[in-house]
Structure 1
Amino acid sequence: MGRPASKNPKSEALTIRLDPKTRFILDYMARFKGQTITTVVERAILAAAANTVITRSDGYEEHHTTWQDLWDVSEGVRALEVSKVPELIPTFEEERRLSFVRNHWPFFFSNEKKQHYLNHYIDVLWPRIDEFIQLHEDMKHMDYYAAGNAMLDALKNAKLSPPKWPPEQKSTPPTKGSGNFSRDLDDDIPF
């Protein structure tokens, strides 16, 4: 028999400094609404977030992004979604993780279009993502697929059926003399 689900499966403590006036206002709001201070703060954050919208235009129409578009129960998916939004100013490490995930897409996405996440893989791999990235950096000159092979082992240890790795190459790009490039590209330069 499994453990009963707790009321709050995972919560985090937040310590903030308030001046006496702000603390009084917070106590006042909690008493007035019959809520805990935590509930008052959570609801104020939700109200503020509901009004925080990132708007982007692609030249044809406007796209709106809110926190709800980025939220996922999976920590790894949340982190990846946030790292794709320039307005949220992703750090170098966030961009590095996103690049690694895109290059090792079979472990993170359902197909090469990279539109749908594989949460069950991400939940296993994400706690060790920096380890896999470092392995890739250290080994890519000798064994480009080393990090992928380590991720395969991690998924197998979690009793998950791993993806096909390395992915099959669709086709090789044409080379000079293969029929598609019969002349030197430098011939087009007029000087």
Structure 2
Amino acid sequence: MGRPVSKNTKSEALTIRLDPKTRFILDYMARFRGQTITTVVERAILAAAANTVISRSDGYDDHEITWQNLWDVSEGVRALEVSKVAELIPTFEEERRLAFVRTHWPFFFTGESKRSYLNHYVDVLWPRIDEFIQLHEDIKHEDYYGAGKAMAEALKNAKLQPPKWPVERSAPTPEKSGGNFSRDPDDDIPF
């Protein structure tokens, strides 16, 4: 026999002020639908959010952003995704955190392209992100990589293998540096 599923979901209380007419309408909807007031409010929010779309054109193609594109079970990932969307008017602190994360990308992303998050690292580091940023600001002139070392220690304490830090840059190859000596001389002809 399997273990019973626990109802250990987190929820948050929301206090709102309603005038008597709006409160009556909410009660009416809840009774009519046979739902709780909470369920009526949650579904109304979902319906409104489904129609809230940010349209983008990056010059190559058009795409849309919805709340579902930004949602993740990880609080840190959600915060970082929201801070990337200018239309959501990120605060200075949100932009500062995003800049720090991008600079220290091996602790947050799977690769330098910064497309996929390392959720297990983010979940350990995010509750202390402001502490790591402040450490970086305080000691970057003496040890630019110090905040990364502190994050590596936090990951080790959580029994996770930290990334290599600082990132070792490989020497550019002739193809990448423009020093390809076997190129065709006709490539320099402007017509």
| TM-score normalised according to structure 2 size | 0.86
Q: How many residues align?
A: 171
Matches within 5 A, 1:2-13: 5-13=5-13
> 1:37 is matched with which residue?
37
Gaps of 5+ in 2: 173-178, 180-191
Matched, 1:143 2:143: yes
> 1:100 is matched with which residue?
100
Q: Partner letter of residue 67 of structure 1?
A: W
Gaps of 5+ in 1: 173-179, 181-191
Q: After superposition, give the CA deviation of every residue in 1:153-172 in whole Å (9 maximum; x if it has no partner).
A: 10000000111011102348
> 1:157 is matched with which residue?
157
Distance apart, 1:57 and its partner CA? 1.0
CA distance in 2 between counterparts of 1:129 and 1:123 reads: 10
SS of equivalent to 2:159: coil
CA distance in 2 between counterparts of 1:69 and 1:21 reads: 35
Matched, 1:90 2:90: yes
Matches within 5 A, 1:18-37: 18-37=18-37
> 2:56 is matched with which residue?
56
Moved over 3 A (4+): 3-6
Gap change, CA 1:139 and 1:119, over 3 Å in 2? same
CA distance in 1 between counterparts of 2:60 and 2:44 reads: 35
Q: After superposition, give the CA deviation of every residue in 1:61-83 in whole Å (9 maximum; x if it has no partner).
A: 21100000000000000000000
Q: After superposition, give the CA deviation of every residue in 1:101-154 in whole Å (9 maximum; x if it has no partner).
A: 000000000011111100000000000000000000000000001100000010
Q: In angstroms, what is the RMSD of aligned CA positions? A: 1.5
Q: Percent identity?
A: 82
